[in-house]
Each structure stands twice: as C-alpha cells, then as structure tokens.
Amino acid sequence: MADTQHDTDPQQRELLRVCRIGRAQGLKGEVNVRAFTDDPEERFAPGSVLLTGDGREFEVVKSRKFKERWILLFKGVTDRNASEALNGTMLYVEPTYADDDSDEDDGFYAEELIGLEARIYANGGADDDDAGDAGSHDDDSTDAYVIAGRVTDVTESPAQWLLTVTEPSGAESLVPFVEEIVPEVDLDEGYLVLDPPNGLLQDR
C-alpha cells in the first residue's frame, strides 16, 4: 500500500503521518486530503505547518470539512495546476508527548498502530483470569495465542477508528478499535490483542 511505502523514511525522523493529499478541489489551489489524525481541527487549523518526508513545509491557509474529507488550502498553492501536482503527497508532523509520566494510555496515533501484529489468545481471550500469563510469553506458552494477521491501515470514522487487519490468507477485515474488541495494545512488543465476536474476521 502507498501508506506503508511513505512511512519508512519519516518514521526514522520521528514524524507522524497526518494526511495524504488527494485530488484538486476547484481552481484556486484547494486540495482534498485523507486525514490520519484524531485531531484534524488542530492539525488543519490556519497557520499549522505540515511536513513532507523530504522536509518541505506546507502552511495551512484555510481548511474546511466536507463529508468524510477535509479540504485544505496551502500557502503558495494558488491554482489548480499547483494543487494537482501535490496529489499523493503524504504530510507529517513532529510528535508531541506529555511532560509528565502519566499512566493514561488510551490515546494512540494511527501511525503507531499500523504494522502491529494482531493476536488472538487461544485460551479464550484477554478476559480470562490467566490472560496476563498468556501474554507474558513464557517458554511453555508458545501456543497461548494465534496470529490473526497484521494491522495494515487505520480508518478514522465519527464513531471510532476502524483497523484494517490483513489476515494470513490475504483477506482484509475491518475491526472497530474499541476496548471490548481490542483489549490490549503493546507498542513496545509490536502487537495488539483481539477478542473478536464471531464473524468479524473473515478467516474465523
């Protein structure tokens, strides 16, 4: 996928993906963008500066939401030819982290979730009393989980994020990113745990 291809370099520079520029909108330089951020109002506010993977800066002059898309106008992009030339460009920002050591971990960037291995615990899921033991990966618990696939995309909707999980067969399933279905996310170890209802995953 194009998203994954564009992630390699910027990830090394510790940048987070915000949006991908799509088709031109009108004749005055506006562009449609697909957002990958949970705070588009802030990221796309006039005066905000977004970066390309090679370091170019794009300052937002104005922005508006239309259905599920955002329409942006960047400084210096004044006509349709200029806006069409940006089609497919991925834009990023530098990550910001809280200064304290708060234990709150309910906020994730979409960028952080893409690429995580999706696991299902064979003993019945994370709701079991022994689920924590299964997740510890002791030498005698190699069969404690099965690999359901890998997160290959994140779609943001008004209700909740939807994870695209590409299963070993190549089938793609949309998984709501809610605690009842995704009870555990471990960014350090590179996986998340699924407790899917019957029929959510195509291979199961």
Q: Domain residues of the chain, as ranges?
A: 2-93, 112-193
Residues 6+ apart with CB under 8 A from 76: 59, 82
Please state, for a pLDDT cut of 70, what percent of the chain lies above it. 74
Can you tell me the distance from the alpha carbon of 135 to that of 98, in angstroms, rounded to the nearest whole number?
28
Can you tell me the distance from the alpha carbon of 35 to that of 27, in angstroms, rounded to the nearest whole number?
22
In this chain, the answer to whether the domains covering 2-93 and 112-193 adopt an identical fold is no
pTM of the prediction?
0.46
Is 49 strand, coil or helix? strand
Contact 107, 97 (CB under 8 A): no
Can you tell me the distance from the alpha carbon of 64 to that of 70, in angstroms, rounded to the nearest whole number?
6
CATH of span 112-193: 2.30.30.240
Strands 90-93 and 117-121: unpaired
Closest listed residue to residue 135, CA positions, set 172, 183, 99: 183
DSSP 197: P
Q: What is the pLDDT of residue 105?
A: 41
pLDDT in tens, 35-77: 888 788 888 999 999 999 888 999 999 999 887 789 999 999 9
Kindly give the confidence (pLDDT) of every residue in the chain, 204 residues in length, as a single tens digit, with 9 standing for 90 and above: 333 333 444 444 567 888 999 999 999 999 999 888 878 888 899 999 999 988 899 999 999 988 778 999 999 999 999 999 999 999 998 775 444 443 444 567 788 888 999 999 876 544 444 444 434 444 444 458 898 999 999 887 667 788 999 998 899 988 988 888 898 888 888 999 998 888 788 766
2-93 folds as Elongation Factor Tu (Ef-tu); domain 3 (2.40.30)
Strands 117-121 and 191-193: parallel
Can you tell me the distance from the alpha carbon of 170 to that of 167, in angstroms, rounded to the nearest whole number?
5
Q: How far is CA 183 from CA 22, 37, 66, 69, 131, in A?
A: 34, 21, 33, 29, 11
Question: What residue type is 11 in one-letter code?
Answer: Q
